Structure 1
Amino acid sequence: MTAPYDPNDREKVVAKLPAELRKELKVRAAELGKDIQDAVTEGVEAWRQAQNRPAVDTAGGTSFATYLPAGLYGKLKENCKARSITYNQGIAQSIRLWLDDNPSPRPRPARVTGARRIIFGNQKGGVGKTSVSAGVAQALAETGHRTLLIDFDPQGHLTKQLGYPMLDIDEASLAKHMLKEAKGDLSELLVPIKGGDFEDHLWLLPACKDAFLLDAKLATAKAVRIKETALEKALEPLEQDFDYIVVDCPPSLGYSMDTALYYCRTRDGEEPSTSGIVVPVLAEDSSADAYDMLYDQVQDLIEDMDIHIALLGFVVNMYDSRKGYVATSSLDEWRNIGEPPVLAVVPELKDQREAVRVKKPLLVHAPYGDQADVMRTVARRISA
């Protein structure tokens, strides 16, 4: 049967939904690998054919936005009016029906290798490693995954953008734990990131100014292979507490990057592409040059240590087609690489800049914007 609307012609729909229903929808859609807007569309279509659906408690609802096909949007309003219920109640019942019709898949067996390890790296600065790694970590946590976000860049932009202070140079830090110069547990340094639907599932390991010294100290370390294994040994005690560990890497090709690359390698017994590196880039030539250098570093480490490192894909950040041929042709070139694939294209919008300005996570400041949706797309693709 042909739908009486063009599924590609969508318009924004805003409703008030209880937090638990929103979270359940996001988790279930992620589990099934489905876009939220498609899940809601299926729910609305099914609800229009259903009769006598039980009411959903929408008390205390907060704003929820998605996109429905324009024709379906109007018909939903007509159905709600005919059934003498509010539009919010119609959306809530539709989502509840979709959840009931699409149960959660069986849980996967426990991973013997601990948390999945996703690093975000590119030798070139200014490509958005920090904004993309933070947004994807929020999206992973939003779907119920316990996620640790690590600021591994000595500049500390991630820590500061989220509104947290950097660790004092005299305090314990990740770098000191990597060099076995710190006392206590690394877990004592973690801080919970509050807000949004990811609350209670997302933690930050803040940056410390002493990270500027890490490359030099790793270079002079006498222990065999400490350069590559230092990050893994420091984080190992935390892995069983998290589903994902996301690392915002420094913009360099030094020893710190080597230890991050080694950390995201495919471990014995781990399925391919379970962990790996995501490369944020821009739609311009300097990003391609920087990627060539990063690729060489990855291949050298693979050959030197006889390991496998999965290149999970590119995220083309801050894309604006109005910049003309340079932007559009560069995007085509990223896509034409094929492997690794382009996971998503982040549009050049004000949402992320505003979030940084007010020191809030993107998925708190603009949870229903296009940039937030792209972060969810990347999270869904790397967690599939």
Structure 2
Amino acid sequence: MIRIAIANQKGGVGKTTTAINVATALAATGHRTLLIDLDPQGNASTGLGISHAERQQSSYDVLIGDCDVADAVLATRVPKLDILPATQDLSGAEIELIDYEQRTHRLQQALDKAEQGQWDICLIDCPPSLGLLTINAMVAAQALLVPLQCEFFALEGLSQLLQTVDRIRGRFNPGLSIMGVALTMYDRRNRLTDQVADDVRACLGDVVFKTVIPRNVRLSEAPSHGMPALIYDYRCAGSEAYMQLARELIGRLPHREEVAA
């Protein structure tokens, strides 16, 4: 199973929207996909129509060892897409996990125990911070997908994130790679948007996906209906962009032999 963490410590960059819609696109192309909601806000769970009453067990229970991944996973209305939902209990996990052995490897151990072959790809939606939850995701993942809002302050946050990735590589997960940076909330009417996009591409080169995600009202409306934008309005500019981004991401996925190794 290929594991990809979707992370950015800056909030409001389209991270959860990216997680939901890329996961949907991957499932639509035939990949058995697991989306792990590791954000205490639980927005990815809500955005896929999972009510709070349905979240009897969650990613919190998996992290503290109360249940296995398979016991907490729920099917979504999207064929081939399952979700490990989140609850507000995750808010206290940062403190609770301090007393656990190998507290940075809890998610990795849980995924290693999961039935092999049940899913092809696992996406992990991280909270907007670089705390213990995000570290668990980065330790468990083979690659990182970074949504980056096309604004000036996003560049400062990116440098901090890259430093964290280097530390994770050095201490816990030497195989962690950056699969790509996805430019989000792109507005062609704003000259600064183009400048930020050019600066990111000049700095990171081919790591930046060619596809950019535009500002789009339908992307914002979809979560309130409990469905991905790709189902809510598959013809809108945002949905088309996420489908194209998913195609790029599929082209960067490691081969199964590499994952097994």
Task: Give me the TM-score of the superposition, normalised by structure 1.
Answer: 0.62
- The alpha-carbon deviation at position 306 of structure 1 amounts to 6.0
| Rounded Cα–Cα distance in structure 2 between residues aligned with 1:328 and 1:341 | 14
Deviation at 1:370, TM superposition (A): 2.1
Q: Which residue of 2 aligns with 1:207?
A: 86
Q: 1:350 to 1:235 in 2, by over 3 A?
A: same
Aligned to 1:286: 153
State whether residues 118 and 247 of structure 1, in contact with CA within 8 Å, keep that contact through their aligned partners in structure 2. yes
Conservation of the 8 A alpha-carbon contact between 1:193 and 1:204? yes
Matched residue type, 1:234: A
CA distance in 2, matches of 1:168, 1:370: 32
Query: Structure 2: how far apart are the matches of 1:286 and 1:233?
Result: 35
Instruction: Say yes or no: does 1:117 pair with 2:3.
Output: yes
In structure 2, which of residues 11, 20, 26 is the aligned counterpart of residue 140 of structure 1?
A: 26
1:234 corresponds to: 110
Which structure has more relative contact order (CA 8 Å, sep 6+)? It is 2
After superposition, give the CA deviation of every residue in 1:316-359 in whole Å (9 maximum; x if it has no partner).
111102122x2110111111121522342101111111212322
Judge conservation of contact 1:122–1:281 (CA < 8 Å) in 2: yes
Deviation at 1:172, TM superposition (A): 3.2
Deviations 1:223-247 (A, max 9, x none): 2xx2221101112214420011111
The 2-side partners of 1:134 and 1:358 are apart by 13
Task: Give the structure 2 partner of residue 188 of structure 1.
Answer: 71
Measure the CA separation in 2 of the matches of 1:146 and 1:259: 22
Name the structure 2 match of 1:179. Answer: 64
1:297 equivalent to 2:180? Answer: no
Query: 1:378 deviation in Å?
Result: 1.9
Q: How many residues align?
A: 249
How far has the Cα of 1:134 moved from its partner?
0.7
1:56-135 matches, within 5 Å, as 115-135=1-21
Aligned to 1:218: 97
* Counterpart for residue 268 of structure 1: none
Please say if residues 119 and 248 of structure 1, whose CA atoms lie closer than 8 Å, have aligned partners that are also in contact.
yes
Report the Cα offset of residue 383 of structure 1. Answer: 1.8
In the superposition, relative to structure 1, how do residues 321 and 373 fare at CA in structure 2: closer, same or farther (>3 Å)? same
CA distance in 1, matches of 2:61, 2:150: 37
Structure 1 residues 217, 315: closer, same or farther in 2, change over 3 A?
same
Closer, same or farther: CA 173–119 of 1 in aligned 2, 3 Å: same
Q: Is the 8 A contact 1:156 1:166 kept in 2?
A: no
Q: Distance in 1 between matches of 2:107 and 2:52?
A: 19
CA contact (8 A) 2:6 2:126 kept: yes
Classify the secondary structure of the residue corresponding to 1:277. Answer: strand
Percent identity of paired positions between Structure 1 and Structure 2: 29
What's the TM-score, normalizing by structure 2? 0.89
C-alpha distance in 2, partners of 1:328/1:377? 20
Q: CA deviation at 1:217?
A: 1.8
1:32 is matched with none
Number of the residue aligned with 1:321: 188
Which one has a bigger Cα radius of gyration?
1
Counterpart CA distance in 2 for 1:211 and 1:343 is 34
* 1:313–1:343 contact (8 Å) kept in structure 2: no
Q: Residues 328 and 207 of structure 1: is their aligned pair in 2 closer, same or farther, counting only changes over 3 Å?
A: same
CA RMSD of aligned residues (A): 1.8
Q: Which one-letter code corresponds to 2:218 in the other structure?
A: D
1:306 and 1:235 map into 2 onto residues whose CA distance is: 15
In the alignment, is the contact (CA less than 8 A) between 2:28 and 2:79 conserved in 1? no
What is the CA–CA distance in structure 2 between the aligned matches of 1:321 and 1:285, rounded to whole Å? 15
In structure 2, the residue matched to 1:150 is: 36
Distance 1:307 1:361, change over 3 A: same
